[in-house]
């Protein structure tokens, strides 16, 4: 299963205090092996926005949650779209058969120019989760994937 990438751009991905994450948000072909990884990205980013909202008000406000979910959707939309598209192209090219045209595209364009770029999709920085104790924040840039 895959979701059509443009659906992520034009359709509502949250409503009130409800949203979707993981395969419910971005079902994709298995070719990049990123379905589970991106579900974890969703979780961290959603937690960051909800956490920021909580820290700002020191408690959960239902209206603020709607805003937090909107920020989450905004942040995930393009990333999910890129992963769905990249995964589809990756699979399509590799399983496209051995006719000369496909072989030519695969060997001269895909492996030479696109493969490294697409494999780079798998590197993603989810940002820092907010911490209740600001003194605990991680200063070292190399460490900025660390979850506190
Ligand atoms: C064979 C295979 C290999 C894969 N390999 C990789 C890989 O190498 N790397 C990678 O990143 N991803 C991989 N994936 C993809 C990855 O497994 C999924 O993208 C990921 O599990 C999605 O997580 P999720 O939490 O969104 O959904 P799920 O893991 O499907 O979790 C949804 C949960 O909701 C439950 N549920 C459903 N309906 C209800 C209901 N009505 N009430 C209560 N609970 C409900 C289900 O039982 C399930 O436990 C692979 C998938 C498959 C099938």
The answer to whether the CB of 5 is under 6 A from ligand 1 is no
Tell me the mean pLDDT in the region 68-81: 95
Tell me the mean pLDDT in the region 53-59: 85
Inform me whether the pLDDT recorded for 135 exceeds 80: no
Q: What percent of the chain has pLDDT over 70?
A: 90
Phi, psi for 15 (deg, rounded to 5): -145, 120
Mean pLDDT of the chain: 85
Q: Are 8 and 80 in contact (CB under 8 A)?
A: yes
C-alpha span between 116 and 2 (Å, rounded): 23
Question: What is the helix (H) or strand (E) element at residue 101, kind and residue range?
Answer: helix 100-104
Biggest CA pair distance of the chain: 63
Question: What is the helix (H) or strand (E) element at residue 121, kind and residue range?
Answer: none
Question: Between these two residues, 140 and 98, which has the higher pLDDT value?
Answer: 98
Q: How far is CA 39 from the centre of its chain?
A: 7
Q: What is the pLDDT of residue 134?
A: 54
Tell me the mean pLDDT in the region 124-148: 61
Q: What is the pLDDT of residue 139?
A: 42
Q: Which of 22, 34, 35 to mutate to test the pocket of ligand 1 (most atoms within 8 A of CB)?
A: 35
Instruction: Copy the structure tokens of residue 88.
Output: 């589809």
Q: Are 13 and 73 in contact (CB under 8 A)?
A: yes
Inform me whether the pLDDT recorded for 142 exceeds 70: no
pLDDT in tens, 20-52: 999 999 999 998 899 999 999 999 999 999 999
Q: Which of 28, 39, 40, 83 to mutate to test the pocket of ligand 1 (most atoms within 8 A of CB)?
A: 39
């Amino acid at each position: 299963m895959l979701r059509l990438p443009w659906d992520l751009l034009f359709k509502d991905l949250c409503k009130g205090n409800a949203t979707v994450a993981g395969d419910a948000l971005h079902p994709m072909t298995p070719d990049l092996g990123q379905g589970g990884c991106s579900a974890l990205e969703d979780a961290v980013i959603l937690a960051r926005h909800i956490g920021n909202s909580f820290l700002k008000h020191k408690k959960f406000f239902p209206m603020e949650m709607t805003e937090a979910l909107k920020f989450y959707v905004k942040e995930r939309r393009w990333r999910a779209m890129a992963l769905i598209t990249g995964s589809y192209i990756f699979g399509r090219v590799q399983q496209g058969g051995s006719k000369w045209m496909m072989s030519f595209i695969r060997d001269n364009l895909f492996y030479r120019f696109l493969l490294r770029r697409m494999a780079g999709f798998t590197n993603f920085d989810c940002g820092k989760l907010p911490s209740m104790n600001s003194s605990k924040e991680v200063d070292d840039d190399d460490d900025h994937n660390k979850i506190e």
